């Protein structure tokens, strides 16, 4: 169990021997390195709607790119140049800084065989970690939760910053908690009526009734726990006043606390740019870049950046050619950003898409997204990736 590991860390730390005996109120003084380094956390940032990867990481020397996108292609002089061949979308200044800093990795051509172009279905495939011909009712993080949290009373190993819980975080036995704001979650679940109802219940063998009460009890105790932790060491940094900014600030505050959460999940959207792509992508990328920049800065200032791995994904990329409405239609393979202070591979990790080798106008995938999952599960979270994904996948070496 990870909780035990954390206690072990505390024992080993410099203040550790003392800290066991120090009354709780005094612990508040140990501000720096409260949570010892090595306590790894993963943040999954979902770009909903199918982000156009080709206008995100731009092949600035590629004639096919400019030929297929006479209106949408971003000129070489406008991009944020990474290498002679590759640039970032102009709105991603925060990510460019991370790149310069050695804290950004880019995986190109991530996808899966027989890609599906329906948002819902493809998101399902990404969130469950299934093949395109299977239907799985649990999410991959949910199954991680099942493995880590069997029988634990607070399913806070994974948290989603949202009102509604994504399939990705639903396991067979354990489901993560979704909340936008710890305080609001605390407020709604602390309605006296619910507490009284819960207090009054005694399990007496009606399986589904007990199941509902178990969920209710976990929700209420998690709500208290999350709220308490969110107030222990709230982030004092400046974040942009956007939804993603607020969400990442909440995550940072929790990372600075002693909460047992290993995985955070948050979404930004909609990247479904069939029409007028330029304005929409510009707006969303600005929100993304500013929020991620503030988040990384905050983590660095608190010595936690090396313990955090952020990755982005989208359910699919978009077609290579622009459409007639200033946008792009649903495509296939896409790029992923990896962000963190302890990346083992940085920069542009694998080759850019080969626009000479398309499948009916779409990019061909080179990396199965499930190998990315396998890698973070095994190398970052120290979990049994084969059991969680139901199959053995190759491990990449970015972490």
Partner 1 sequence: MSLSNQLKNQHLLWRAGFGPAVEQLDNLNKTSPQSLYKALQKGSSKKPQYLQAADNYLQGLMIGIQDVGRLQKQEMTPEQRKELQKKSREGIKSLNLYWIKEMVNSDAQLTEKMSLFWHGHFACRNLNVFFQQQLLDVIRQNALGNFRDLLHEVSRSGAMLNFLNNNQNRKDHPNENFAREVMELFTMGRGNYTEHDVKEAARAFTGWGANARGEFVFRKFQHDDASKTVLGKTGNFDGDDVLDVLLEQKQTAKHITQKTYRYFVNENIDEKKTQWLTDRFYKSDYNIGKLMEDIFTSDWFYDEKNIGCRIKSPIELLVGIQRMLPMKLENEEAVLLLQRVLGQILFYPPNVAGWPGGKTWIDSSTLMMRMRIPQLINDNDEFNVRPKDDDDQMMGRPDEMKKLGKVGRPINAEVDWSEYVNFYNKVPREQLMNDMAGFLLQTKKAVGAEIISEYTDNSSKENFIKTATIQIMSTPEYQLC
Rg, Å, the chain Cα set: 22
Q: What is the C-alpha to C-alpha distance for residues 234 and 226, in angstroms, rounded to an integer?
A: 12
Min dist. Cβ of residue 385 to partner 1 (A): 24
List the one residue out of 363, 369, 368, 370 whose CA is nearest residue 333: 363
Q: Which is nearer to partner 1, 11 or 190 (CB)?
A: 190
Residue 226 or 251: which CB sits closer to partner 1? Answer: 226
* Token representation of residue 370: 């499930």
Q: Are 19 and 13 in contact (CB under 8 A)?
A: yes
Residue with smaller CB distance to partner 1, 11 or 215: 215
Task: Name residue 44's beta-bridge partners.
Answer: 265, 311
Left (φ > 0), alpha (ψ -120 to 50) or beta: where does 14 sit? alpha
Cβ-Cβ contacts under 8 Å for 66 (sequence gap 6 or more): 73
In whole angstroms, how close is the CB of 164 to partner 1 at the nearest point? Answer: 5
Of 46 and 302, the one with the shorter C-beta distance to partner 1 is 46
Residue closer to partner 1 by CB (options 103, 166) is 166
Min CB(272)–partner 1 separation in Å: 4
Q: What is the nearest approach in angstroms of partner 1 to the Cβ of residue 2?
A: 20
Residue 22 beta carbon to partner 1: minimum distance, rounded to whole angstroms: 34
d(CA 140, CA 368): 15
**Interaction site with partner 1 (CB under 8 A):** 48-50, 118-121, 124, 133, 135, 137, 155, 162-167, 170, 175-179, 184, 188-189, 193-194, 196-197, 200-201, 204, 206-209, 211-213, 215-216, 218-219, 222, 267, 269-270, 272-275, 280, 324-325, 327
Nearest distance, CB of residue 59 and partner 1, angstroms: 24
C-beta of 196 vs 382, nearer to partner 1 = 196
Q: Which is nearer to partner 1, 15 or 198 (CB)?
A: 198
My answer on whether omega of the bond before 270 falls inside 30° of 0, hence cis, is yes
Residue 30 buriedness (CB in 10 A; 0-12 / 13-18 / 19+): middle
Phi, psi for residue 153 in degrees, rounded to 5? -90, -15
Contact indicator for 68, 322 with CB cutoff of 8 Å: yes
Shortest Cβ distance from residue 113 to partner 1 (Å)?
14
């Amino acid at each position: 169990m990870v909780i035990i590991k954390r206690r072990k860390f505390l024992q080993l730390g410099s203040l550790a021997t003392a800290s066991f005996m120090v009354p709780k109120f005094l612990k508040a003084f140990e501000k720096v390195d409260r949570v010892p380094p090595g306590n790894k956390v993963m943040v999954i940032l979902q770009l909903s709607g199918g982000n156009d990867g080709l206008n995100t990481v731009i092949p600035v020397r590629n004639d096919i790119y400019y030929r297929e996108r006479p209106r949408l292609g971003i000129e070489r002089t406008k991009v944020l140049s990474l290498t002679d061949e590759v640039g970032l979308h102009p709105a991603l200044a925060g990510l460019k800084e991370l790149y310069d800093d050695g804290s950004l990795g880019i995986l190109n051509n991530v996808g899966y065989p027989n890609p599906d172009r329906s948002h819902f279905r493809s998101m399902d495939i990404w969130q469950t970690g299934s093949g395109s011909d299977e239907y799985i009712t649990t999410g991959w993080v949910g199954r991680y939760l099942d493995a880590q949290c069997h029988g634990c009373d607070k399913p806070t190993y994974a948290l989603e910053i949202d009102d509604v819980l994504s399939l990705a975080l639903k396991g067979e036995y354990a489901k993560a908690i979704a909340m936008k704001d710890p305080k609001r979650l605390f407020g709604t679940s602390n309605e006296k009526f619910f507490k009284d109802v819960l207090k009054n219940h005694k399990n007496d063998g009606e399986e589904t009734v007990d199941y509902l009460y178990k969920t209710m009890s976990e929700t209420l105790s998690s709500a208290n726990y999350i709220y308490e932790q969110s107030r222990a060491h709230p982030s004092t940094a400046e974040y942009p006043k956007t939804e993603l900014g607020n969400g990442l600030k909440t995550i940072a505050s929790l990372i600075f606390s002693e909460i047992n959460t290993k995985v955070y999940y948050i979404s930004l959207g909609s990247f479904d740019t069939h029409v007028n792509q330029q304005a929409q992508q510009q707006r969303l990328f600005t929100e993304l870049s500013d929020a991620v920049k503030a988040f990384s800065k905050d983590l660095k200032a608190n010595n936690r950046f090396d313990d955090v791995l952020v990755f982005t994904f989208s359910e699919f990329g978009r077609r290579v050619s622009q459409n007639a409405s200033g946008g792009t239609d649903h495509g296939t393979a896409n790029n992923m950003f990896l962000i963190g202070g302890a990346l083992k591979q940085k920069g542009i990790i694998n080759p850019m898409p080969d626009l000479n080798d398309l499948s009916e106008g779409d990019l061909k995938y080179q990396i199965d997204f499930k190998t990315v999952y396998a890698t973070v599960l095994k190398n970052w979270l120290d979990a049994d990736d084969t059991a969680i994904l139901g199959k053995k996948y190759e491990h990449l070496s970015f972490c």
